[in-house]
């Protein structure tokens, strides 16, 4: 029988980059449809072959001679006796620190604080610079600003907004591109577009900042050719520059492209560049940032969407609805006279018959195209990105034809790993909306929103969303890089900025619970998801420093009860203009998180073998637990403050002194949720865990009542209003179709969508029982009138799935365990744990019929119906 290898990756980069990696001995992981032994075979470019026999599939230590910088070859994995099912990948190390060239710049002084032009850079080389017999050619590059490369008139790579946004003063990522096939005999031209981006453009809110990282924009490009004899040749490049057709561009503001200024053929041989100016050389060593290989795929064009409706407006604009709120830009195809100017406007929603642009704040999001007038022209903005579902074309010449405009979806390239489906259309749509909000907000780093003048890496948002993010997509690479930035930006005292990378635009820069806790919780969730302790090793100093800081802030008492807090942010009872004014005690939240992260650091210390640390953080966690109990719990199990978030936090973080207390609090939680008419009454902290808390309190039915609620505030209210993403506020759009008056109203924030994880784990019943999906728990919980639900997860050990179907009082449960895992099945109504091995298993059992699922009980609370006039 053939053993097929389905997936093969290095480090944690599932389906990611394999050329230009940092590790000289990358760990190897793969998924096989049968157990080992397996053969690993590495064929170096010089023909040397090494093989190894392994039985494990996860993070196998590189069994070959370590690679030198630039060295590469082909890795093949197969079942020991079945080369037919083999899978191969290229493995090639980047240049490490071996930079031989300097930055080159067309602009070292930033002009006024307004969108600035992009530049073109150009370098020419010919055969005289190249060896006779070329094995391969590599271009290693990065920039201050954002850039796109062209070689001989053809785009290099598919990176968008490269090099992405990192904490530039500490860390700048470069990319290695294979350009072997793009080289010409004779003259060759390397070109680059270069603009401000995050480095020098406008970023942040409340006015934001300009030139956050420097006053220059600059390119760093090292072109290397390896001859067939293995010798390495650095191709000398002399750069000149010229203004580009992009006359103004900002990530928030949009791009203006004057096609009349485009010098056709500028990056191809034979072009007359005699009037281009010499670029200024900026010594690489005058910048402190470490230049690193990426840990994830870049931002890319992922798919395109045609409009679902096209409508001419009374003012002559053409309105397009793409049927989906996305992050991206438009691609237009147009024929117009020279100088004809078209404006592309973007918005997430329509209000009062017009594009609802108020929530964008200062992110104008208008692209302008000035036609060259030479036939059919195609334009996609390069250096800006918008969050939108609707667009309006202003001054479009003539009629719009099918295919003239499409929306280009742009975000980090990530492998999708999870699927959920059920008999409930609303829940399915909710799940789809969460997927989209994650995609739209993983634009190189995990951001809060893709549309307004913000789009920053808020720590609290990814802290609550991390388990869901890691379920839906293989997001490890992105999060690994972002956590490096977090650690770099953490102060010596352990303080974690509220968003990372941090830009000083006036937001309070104080330690904040649930936000700063991302330093501990995100790496922990990553470890839980794939079982790889390396992220914990890497982040350990950062994790500890945060918990130590909070211990200090509590005056060593364990009770964190002073200073700035965001608390249960966006609790629906808080006024729109004051989202932090929750009815849950902020310091209860702060102390609860302190317990949680101290416990995680203790567990991490244990895993990493730091015995003394383990004892220290265990003691710290116990002290904080006692402080929490003394301050916020009555001996009989009342919680101060008496809110769903407070009780949920205490239940899910396991903060009660005994089961009797927890039971009393649990019944109070059920009561409160019932009194609230099964509407959401939790914010950023409570919402992601409220359903788990209800299950812990003994009622999955209550979780279903909450999940199926459509009245405001609820998860399904936005769905009932036609949402295609998760909103920042439950009522980002009010029932009358107007936009929430709050200044902070986005239609695309993933945080409140963290419940998607519960759909997988509890509704369908598919969860990880211990780190890395080595052991899988199948525990379906039918209810809510659903007649079926199913989930699949492509774990690092292979695909696991569960499906349940109700037929009257019959319940059929089917589970699938991948070859490298084992499972345990717990059927509804039973506590028996049924052990299962790899393969598919079917259970036919009895459970109450869907029609007998309970209705939400009445707690004497009803929304007032408007009386007919």
Q: Which residues are catalytic?
A: 454, 728
Contact 429, 714 (CB under 8 A): no
Give alpha helix (H) positions in 609-686.
611-632, 644-652, 659-675
Shortest spacing between CB 568 and ligand BGC, in angstroms: 12
- Measured between alpha carbons, how far is 603 from 609 in angstroms, rounded to an integer? 10
Q: How far apart (Å, rounded) are the C-alpha atoms in residues 782 and 423?
A: 11
In this chain, which of 623, 749, 760, 777 binds ligand BGC, going by CB under 6 A?
749
- For residue 563, count other CB atoms closer than 10 A to its CB: 14
CB of 464: closest distance to ligand BGC in angstroms?
A: 9
Measure the CA–CA gap between 99 and 123, rounded to whole angstroms: 18
Applying CB under 6 A, does 461 fall inside the site for ligand BGC? yes
Rounded to a whole number of angstroms, the minimum distance from the CB of residue 467 to ligand BGC is 17
The residue (of 368 and 732) whose beta carbon lies closer to ligand BGC is: 732
Q: Nearest distance from residue 227's CB to ligand BGC, in Å? A: 52
Q: Does 460 bind ligand BGC (CB under 6 A)?
A: yes
Q: To the nearest whole angstrom, how small is the minimum distance from the Cβ of residue 564 to ligand BGC?
A: 10
Residue 205 CA, distance from chain mean position: 21
- The window from 32-40, 151-159, 320-328, 448-456 that contacts ligand BGC (CB under 6 A) reads 448-456
Would strands 299-305 and 146-151 be described as parallel, antiparallel, or unpaired? unpaired
The residue among 566 and 697 lying less far from ligand BGC, judged by its C-beta, is 566
Smaller CB separation from ligand BGC, 254 or 460: 460
Phi then psi for residue 573, to 5 deg, are: -85, -10
3-state class of 586 per DSSP?
helix
Min dist CB 489 to ligand BGC, Å, is 16
Q: Residues 619-638: x/- map of binding to ligand BGC (CB under 6 A)?
A: --------------------
d(CA 600, CA 670): 28
Angle of helix 644-652 versus helix 687-696 axis, rounded to 10: 70
- Binding segment (CB under 6 A) for ligand BGC, from list 183-191, 361-369, 452-460, 622-630: 452-460
What is the smallest separation between the CB atom of 748 and ligand BGC, expressed in angstroms? 10
Q: By CB under 6 A, which span of 333-341, 455-463, 521-529, 657-665 interacts with ligand BGC?
A: 455-463
Q: Which residues contact 252 (CB under 8 A, 6 or more apart)?
A: 201, 202, 203, 208, 362, 363, 364, 365, 384, 453, 455
Least separation in angstroms between CB 147 and ligand BGC: 28
Indicate the residue among 490 and 661 with the shorter CB distance to ligand BGC. Answer: 490
- Told to check if 517 binds ligand BGC by CB under 6 A, we report no
Angstrom distance (rounded) from CA 310 to CA 40: 54
CB of 582 to ligand BGC, least distance (A): 12
Q: Single out the residue of 434, 445, 449, 526 in contact with ligand BGC (rule: CB under 6 A).
A: 449
Closest CA to 201 of 162, 248, 259, 256: 248
- What letters, b where the CB count within 10 A reaches 16 and e where it falls short, cover 28-48? bbbbbbbebebbbbbebbeee
Only one of the segments 351-359, 395-403, 458-466, 522-530 lies at the binding site for ligand BGC (rule: CB under 6 A); that segment is: 458-466
CA angle 383, 389, 394 (to 5 degrees): 70
The 781-820 contact track toward ligand BGC, x by CB under 6 A, reads ----------------------------------------
Count of helix runs (H) and strand runs (E) in the chain: 14, 44
Q: Show the binding pattern over residues 399-438: x = contacts ligand BGC (CB under 6 A), - = does not.
A: ----------------------------------------
Among 448, 568, 731, 779, binds ligand BGC (CB under 6 A): 448
Of the ranges 120-128, 350-358, 454-462, 663-671, which one interacts with ligand BGC (CB under 6 A)?
454-462
DSSP string, 758-805: HIIIIII-EEESSGGGSEEEE-----TT-SEEEEEEEETTEEEEEEEE
Binding residues for ligand BGC restricted to 93-132, rule: CB under 6 A: none
The dihedrals phi and psi of 708, each to the nearest 5 degrees, come to: -90, -5
Cβ proximity to ligand BGC: between 462 and 662 the closer is 462
Q: Is the dihedral of CA 643, 644, 647, 648 positive or negative?
A: negative
Binding mask 487-506 for ligand BGC (x = CB under 6 A): --------------------
Q: Which is nearer to ligand BGC, 257 or 458 (CB)?
A: 458
551 sits near ligand BGC (criterion: CB under 6 A): no
Whole-number minimum distance, CB 499 to ligand BGC, in Å? 7
Q: Which is closer to ligand BGC, CB of 651 or CB of 744? A: 744
Nearer to ligand BGC, 17 or 456 (CB): 456
CA atoms within 13 A on the CB side of 212: 23
- The yes or no reply on residue 688 touching ligand BGC (CB under 6 A) is no
* 566 contacts ligand BGC (rule: CB under 6 A): yes
CA distance 598 to 618: 7
Nearer to ligand BGC, 148 or 448 (CB): 448
The least CB distance from residue 569 to ligand BGC, in Å, is 6
Q: What are the tokens at 632?
A: 């916020």
Q: Distance between alpha carbon 397 and the CA centroid of its chain, in Å?
A: 38
Supply φ then ψ for residue 757, to 5 degrees. -60, -40
Which one, 317 or 749, has the nearer CB to ligand BGC? 749
- Provide, rounded to whole angstroms, the least separation between the CB of residue 751 and ligand BGC: 6
Considering the complex, what minimum distance in angstroms separates the CB of residue 58 from ligand BGC? 34
Q: Does residue 446 bind ligand BGC (CB under 6 A)?
A: no
Q: What is the dihedral of CA 756, 760, 765, 769, to 10 degrees?
A: -100
Backbone angles phi, psi at 733, to 5 degrees: -115, 130
Residue 226 DSSP symbol: E
- The region of 453-461, 462-470, 611-619, 818-826 touching ligand BGC under the rule CB under 6 A is 453-461
- The tokens describing 120, both together, are 């073109």
Which of the residues 568 through 587 are near ligand BGC (CB under 6 A)? 569
Distance, in Å, from the CA atom of 683 to the CA atom of 572, rounded to the nearest integer, reads 7
Choosing from 744, 759, 762, 764, the residue that interacts with ligand BGC (CB under 6 A) is: 744
Reported as type and span, the H/E element at residue 702 is helix 700-708
Q: Looking at beta carbons only, is 197 or 460 nearer to ligand BGC?
A: 460
Q: Helices marked H in 188-311 — which ranges?
A: 197-200
C-alpha to C-alpha distances, 822 to 540, 826, 833, 837, nearest whole angstrom:
30, 14, 13, 5
d(CA 788, CA 215): 58
Stretch that binds ligand BGC, among 140-148, 323-331, 456-464, 539-547 (CB under 6 A): 456-464
**Contact in structure between 107 and 243 (CB atoms under 8 Å):** no
Within 313-372, the residues that bind ligand BGC by CB under 6 A are none
Q: Which is nearer to ligand BGC, 456 or 697 (CB)?
A: 456
Q: Which is closer to ligand BGC, CB of 213 or CB of 458?
A: 458
Q: In the set 7, 248, 406, 454, which binds ligand BGC (CB under 6 A)?
A: 454
466 binds ligand BGC (CB under 6 A): no
Distance of alpha carbon 866 from its chain centroid, rounded? 42
458 binds ligand BGC (CB under 6 A): yes
Size of the site for ligand BGC (CB under 6 A): 10
Contact in structure between 828 and 805 (CB atoms under 8 Å): no
CB-CB contact of 531 with 477 (8 Å): no
Outline where DSSP puts E strands in 525-641.
none
Q: Which residues bind ligand BGC (CB under 6 A)?
A: 448-449, 454, 458, 460-461, 566, 569, 744, 749
């Amino acid at each position: 029988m053939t053993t097929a290898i389905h997936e093969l990756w290095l480090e944690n980069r599932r389906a990611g980059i394999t050329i230009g990696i940092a590790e000289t001995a990358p760990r190897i992981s793969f998924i096989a449809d049968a157990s080992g032994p397996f053969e690993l075979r590495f064929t170096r470019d010089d023909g040397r072959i090494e093989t190894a026999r392994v039985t494990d599939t996860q993070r196998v230590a590189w069994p070959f001679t370590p690679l030198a910088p630039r060295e590469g070859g082909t890795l093949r994995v197969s079942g020991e006796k079945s080369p037919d099912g083999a899978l191969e990948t290229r493995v090639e190390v980047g240049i490490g620190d071996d930079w031989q060239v300097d930055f080159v710049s067309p602009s070292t002084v930033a002009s006024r604080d307004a969108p600035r032009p992009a530049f073109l850079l150009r370098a020419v080389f010919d055969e005289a610079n190249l060896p006779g017999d070329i094995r391969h050619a590599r271009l290693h590059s990065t920039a201050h600003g954002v850039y796109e490369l062209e070689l001989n008139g053809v785009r290099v790579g598919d990176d968008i907004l490269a090099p992405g946004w990192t904490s530039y003063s500490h860390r700048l990522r470069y990319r290695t591109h294979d350009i072997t096939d793009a080289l010409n005999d004779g003259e060759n031209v390397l070109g680059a577009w270069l603009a401000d981006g995050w480095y020098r453009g406008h970023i942040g809110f409340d006015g934001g900042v300009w030139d956050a990282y420097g006053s220059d924009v600059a390119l760093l490009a090292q072109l290397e050719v390896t001859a067939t004899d293995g010798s390495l040749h650095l191709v000398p490049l002399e750069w000149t520059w010229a203004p580009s057709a992009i006359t103004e561009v900002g990530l928030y503001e949009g791009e203006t492209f004057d096609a009349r200024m485009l010098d056709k053929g500028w990056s191809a041989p034979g072009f007359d560049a005699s009037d281009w100016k010499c670029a200024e050389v900026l010594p690489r060593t005058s910048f402190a940032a470490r230049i690193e290989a990426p840990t994830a795929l870049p931002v890319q064009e992922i798919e395109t969407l045609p409009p679902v409706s096209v409508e001419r407006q009374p003012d002559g604009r053409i309105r397009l609805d793409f049927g989906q709120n996305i992050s991206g830009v438009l691609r237009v195809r147009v024929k117009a006279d020279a100088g004809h100017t078209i404006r592309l406007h973007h918005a997430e929603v329509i209000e009062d018959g017009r594009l609802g642009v108020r929530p964008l704040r200062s992110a104008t999001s208008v692209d302008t195209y000035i036609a060259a007038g030479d036939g059919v022209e195609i334009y996609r903005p390069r250096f800006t990105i918008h969050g939108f579902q609707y667009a309006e074309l202003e001054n479009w010449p003539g009629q719009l034809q099918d295919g003239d405009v499409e929306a280009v979806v742009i975000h980090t390239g990530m492998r999708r790993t999870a699927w959920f489906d059920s008999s409930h259309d609303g829940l399915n749509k909710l799940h789809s909306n969460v997927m989209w909000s994650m995609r739209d907000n993983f634009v190189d780093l995990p951001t809060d929103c893709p549309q307004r003048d913000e789009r920053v890496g808020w720590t609290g948002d990814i802290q609550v969303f991390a388990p869901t993010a890691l379920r839906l997509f293989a997001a490890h690479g992105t999060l690994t890089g972002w956590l490096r930035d977090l650690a770099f930006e953490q102060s010596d005292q352990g303080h974690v900025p509220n968003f990372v990378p941090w830009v000083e635009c006036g937001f309070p820069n104080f330690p904040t619970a649930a936000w700063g806790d991302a330093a501990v919780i995100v790496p922990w969730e990553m470890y839980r998801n794939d079982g790889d302790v390396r992220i914990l090793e890497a982040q350990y100093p950062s994790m500890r420093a945060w918990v130590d800081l909070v211990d200090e802030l509590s005056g060593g008492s364990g009770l964190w009860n002073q200073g700035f807090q965001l608390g249960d942010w966006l609790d629906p009872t808080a006024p729109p203009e004051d989202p932090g004014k929750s009815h849950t005690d902020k310091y209860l939240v702060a102390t609860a998180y302190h317990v949680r992260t101290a416990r995680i650091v203790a567990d991490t210390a244990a895993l990493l073998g730091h015995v003394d640390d383990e004892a220290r953080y265990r003691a710290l966690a116990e002290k904080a637990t006692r402080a929490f109990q003394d301050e916020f719990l009555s001996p009989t199990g009342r919680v101060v403050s008496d809110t769903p978030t407070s009780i949920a936090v205490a239940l899910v973080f396991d903060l009660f002194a005994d089961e009797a207390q927890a039971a009393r609090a649990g019944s109070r939680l059920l009561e409160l949720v019932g009194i609230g008419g099964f509407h959401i009454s939790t914010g950023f902290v409570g919402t992601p865990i409220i359903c788990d808390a209800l299950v812990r309190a003994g009622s999955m039915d209550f979780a279903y009542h909450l999940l199926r609620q459509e009245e405001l505030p609820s998860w399904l209210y936005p769905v009932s209003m036609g949402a295609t993403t998760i909103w920042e506020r439950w009522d980002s759009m009010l029932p009358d179709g107007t936009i929430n008056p709050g200044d902070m109203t986005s239609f695309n924030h993933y945080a409140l969508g963290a419940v998607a994880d519960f759909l997988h784990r509890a509704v369908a019943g598919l969860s990880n029982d211990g780190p890395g999906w080595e052991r899988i728990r199948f525990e379906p919980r039918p209810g809510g009138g659903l007649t079926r639900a199913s989930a699949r997860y492509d774990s690092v050990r292979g695909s696991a799935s569960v499906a349940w179907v109700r037929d009257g009082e019959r319940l059929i449960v089917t589970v699938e365990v991948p070859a490298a895992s084992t499972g345990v099945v717990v059927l509804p109504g039973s506590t028996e744990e049924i052990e299962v091995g790899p393969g598919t298993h079917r259970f036919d059992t009895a459970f109450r019929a869907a029609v007998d699922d309970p209705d939400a009980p009445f707690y004497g609370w009803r929304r007032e119906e408007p009386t007919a006039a």
